[in-house]
Amino acid sequence: MNQEFIVICLIEETCVVGWNSASCDEIALGGAKMNNYHTEKKVLVADDEPEIRRLIRRTVLYVCPKCQVRQASNGLQAKEKLMAWCPQLVILDLHMPHINGLELSQFIQEYRTLSHTKILAVTGYPAPGINEVMFDRGVSEFLLKPFDTNDLAASIRRLLV
């Protein structure tokens, strides 16, 4: 096993050290590999509209009351939180300031320790051919704004399994 460190971050008061060959769920602490170190599911909500973030957060907590939910108001914040926190699910808007949702999806797909992260994209601006582009960039599912919260809840359930 290549023991080159690639992730060193503080998550609240817990020091998390990841190995090059490990995902965020398989981390090494003091040389002992521990599976499912984080027992609660983690969801990152990234949208530049505060009302949408609040609605998505409430829906996530309705579906998964023990989930940890963090929020980002732009793509740059989302990227920083992704690298430090390694969530199982990212719910992101495609049109955000600094880094858009497609660029962020591409980053998630290419960043080795985020390879397990599922992506639910939401957009109010559908464009011809966007479905193929989203799926090529690692998006698992997408919803058009305005979306029904029942559809959002169903997508979250499927992606957190």
Task: Looking at the structure, tell me whether residues 11 and 74 fall in a common domain.
Answer: no
CATH code for the domain of 131: 3.40.50.2300
Q: How far is CA 40 from the centre of its chain?
A: 14
Task: Looking at the structure, tell me whether residues 57 and 81 fall in a common domain.
Answer: yes
Q: Note the pLDDT of residue 39.
A: 54
Domain that holds residue 11: 5-35
User: pTM of the prediction?
Assistant: 0.76
Q: Using one digit for the tens of pLDDT, what is the confidence trace for 8-49? A: 333 332 333 333 334 443 333 333 333 333 458 999 999 999
Task: Looking at the structure, tell me whether residues 23 and 63 fall in a common domain.
Answer: no
Total tally of structural domains belonging to the chain: 2
Q: Using one digit for the tens of pLDDT, what is the confidence trace for 64-98? A: 999 999 999 999 999 999 999 999 999 999 999 99
Task: Looking at the structure, tell me whether residues 82 and 100 fall in a common domain.
Answer: yes
Task: Looking at the structure, tell me whether residues 90 and 11 fall in a common domain.
Answer: no
**Is the pLDDT score of 1 beyond 80?**
no
DSSP character for 42? Answer: E
